[in-house]
Amino acid sequence: MNFPIEYDEPLFRPPSEARSLIIQITLGCSWNKCSFCEMYTSKQFTARKEEAIFTDIEAFAPHTAQIKRVFLADGDPLVLSNDRLIRILNKVTETFPNLNRISTYASPSNLKRKSDEELRALKNAGLTLLYVGIESGDSEVLECIQKGETFETTIEGLNKSKTAGMHSSVMLINGVGGKLLSKQHAINSAKVLNATQPKYASTLVLTAHKGMPHYKDRYKGEFIELEKKELFEEMKLFMEHLELTETIFRSDHASNHLILKGILGKDKQKMLDQIDVAIQYSEQYSNVGGGY
Ligand code: SF4
């Protein structure tokens, strides 16, 4: 069978959406400034025409029985108006009646800009899971990486979506603030998670896709890369400050040197013990990532 639609490449989705149908409703990212992110730097942000989106959705109508999950791409579809988003969500749910989940990427600012009623309407229309790359909970780190968020906006955005009944999967970057901001990055990231209690949280290790000099150029401040042992120490400090009740935690992205999986709080001590072993043997540790 030929794939029924053509994507505007590059196309990204979270690892856990590997079995989902991906529908591009916007192209690129309207922000497109984060110093570590090269996902959409080749694209100009565009809101796709509704007609084209509906044609893509209808192309999968013959496969409706198999389609259980839909992921709306690219970077931040929630910049669209609610009216438009709800028409798209209705089209998705009408076409695929066996769906059990619609998800998308979202930023805290996207969420902050929607009213409580608008977020609830999106949830009621089927959008139940948001992937939110918060990267850090520390305002200084967020400024250096040009994220356009702060400690406060991140908490506000995440809690607004939670109040609307949506789940969130929060992503953080180990090492993103370098040596100089490592401690505050770890502690304030834990504080953001404690204040928002997300359903899922994960960490990945900073990867400079276009090389470290390029990352440093885009980083607004002095950046000194963490050594492997320091990355583990940052994870330890972060984990020590977490007070989560039932967050499913993963650090199994291919970039991670140490794979951690569990439920926080229940598995906190177990994960701390694993980090301690990694610190102890950090010199011998090879990159054993590749969980996806
Ligand atoms: S908001 Fe997300 S997609 Fe956009 S530049 Fe930042 S990390 Fe990349």
Q: What is the pLDDT of residues 131-157, one digit of tens each?
A: 999 999 999 999 999 999 999 999 999
pLDDT above 60 for 252:
yes
Our answer on whether the CB atom of 131 is closer than 6 Å to any ligand 1 atom is: no
Where do the domains of the chain lie? 19-280
User: Percent of the chain having pLDDT more than 90?
Assistant: 90
Q: Rounded to the nearest 5 degrees, what angle is found at the Cα of 187, between the Cα atoms of 110 and 220?
A: 60
41 Cα: distance to centroid of ligand 1 (angstroms) = 9
163 Cα: distance to centroid of ligand 1 (angstroms) = 24
Query: Which pLDDT does position 90 carry in this prediction?
Result: 98
Looking at per-residue pLDDT, the higher value among 28 and 286 belongs to 28
207-232: average pLDDT: 94
pLDDT above 50 for 291:
no
Our answer on whether the CB atom of 39 is closer than 6 Å to any ligand 1 atom is: yes
Of the pLDDT bands very low, low, confident and very high (cuts 50, 70, 90), residue 290 is very low
Our answer on whether the CB atom of 34 is closer than 6 Å to any ligand 1 atom is: yes
Atom of ligand 1 nearest to the CA of 74: 3
The rounded distance, in Å, linking the Cα atoms of 227 and 106 is 31
Q: What is the mean pLDDT of the chain?
A: 94
Our answer on whether the CB atom of 106 is closer than 6 Å to any ligand 1 atom is: no
Report CA-CA distances (Å) from 187 to 37, 101, 122, 226: 23, 33, 32, 16
User: Percent of the chain having pLDDT more than 70?
Assistant: 96
Query: Which pLDDT does position 288 carry in this prediction?
Result: 46
Query: Which pLDDT does position 169 carry in this prediction?
Result: 98
73-83: average pLDDT: 96
Our answer on whether the CB atom of 32 is closer than 6 Å to any ligand 1 atom is: yes
**Mean pLDDT lowest for which of 189-193, 222-226, 242-246, 280-284?**
280-284
Which residues, 6+ apart, have CB-to-CB distance to 13 below 8 Å? 20, 22, 71, 73
pLDDT above 80 for 1:
no
The rounded distance, in Å, linking the Cα atoms of 254 and 259 is 9
- Over residues 159-217, the pLDDT tens digits come to 999 999 999 999 999 999 999 999 999 999 999 999 999 999 999 999 998 999 999 99
101-120: average pLDDT: 97
87-96: average pLDDT: 98
Whose alpha carbon is nearest atom 5 of ligand 1? 32
Report CA-CA distances (Å) from 197 to 117, 155, 194, 207: 21, 10, 5, 26
37 Cα: distance to centroid of ligand 1 (angstroms) = 6
Architecture per CATH, 19-280:
Alpha-Beta Barrel (3.20)
pLDDT above 90 for 255:
no
Of the pLDDT bands very low, low, confident and very high (cuts 50, 70, 90), residue 65 is very high
Q: Is the dihedral of CA 218, 223, 227, 230 positive or negative?
A: negative
Contact 289, 249 (CB under 8 A): no
